């Protein structure tokens, strides 16, 4: 599939004004999804189970307006805390 510059311009605004919470964003598919959503205009909060993973996410997403956070998705209190922020 080829993409011209006008298609990229439309995609870049597709998620403007939206917030995306991406779990597992420190590597692999989660990292790719987080970065693509950020490039498409979303405010992306990427999560990882470790602080070092969250810091790596933050380094990648902060230039795009996003952030990284440590989160254990099996801990309801941690989920509530992240959503409150």
pLDDT tens string 11-40: 567 899 999 999 999 999 999 999 999 999
For residue 42, being part of any structural domain is answered with yes
For residue 53, being part of any structural domain is answered with yes
Distance separating alpha carbons of residues 47 and 23, to the nearest angstrom: 5
For residue 3, being part of any structural domain is answered with no
What pLDDT, on a 0 to 100 scale, did the predictor assign at position 4?
A: 54
pLDDT-based confidence at residue 75 (cuts at 50, 70, 90): very high
What are the residues whose beta carbons fall under 8 Å from the beta carbon of 62, sequence distance 6 or more?
A: 68
Q: Which CATH number belongs to the domain containing residue 79 in this structure?
A: 3.40.50.720
Sheet (strand 19-22) strand order:
19-22, 43-48, 67-70
Query: What is the pTM (predicted TM-score) of this model?
Result: 0.80
For residue 6, being part of any structural domain is answered with no
What range defines the domain where residue 64 resides? 16-84
How many independent structural domains does the chain possess?
A: 1
Mean pLDDT of 46-72: 95
For residue 59, being part of any structural domain is answered with yes
The more confident residue out of 7 and 17 is 17
pLDDT tops 50 at residue 45: yes
């Amino acid at each position: 599939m080829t993409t011209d510059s006008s298609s990229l311009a439309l995609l870049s605004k597709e998620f403007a004004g939206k917030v995306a919470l991406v779990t597992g964003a420190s590597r692999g598919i989660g990292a790719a999804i987080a970065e693509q959503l950020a490039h498409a205009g979303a405010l992306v909060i990427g999560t990882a189970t470790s602080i070092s993973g969250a810091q790596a996410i933050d380094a990648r997403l902060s230039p795009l307006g996003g952030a990284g956070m440590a989160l254990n998705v099996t801990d309801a209190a941690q989920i509530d805390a992240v959503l409150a922020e």
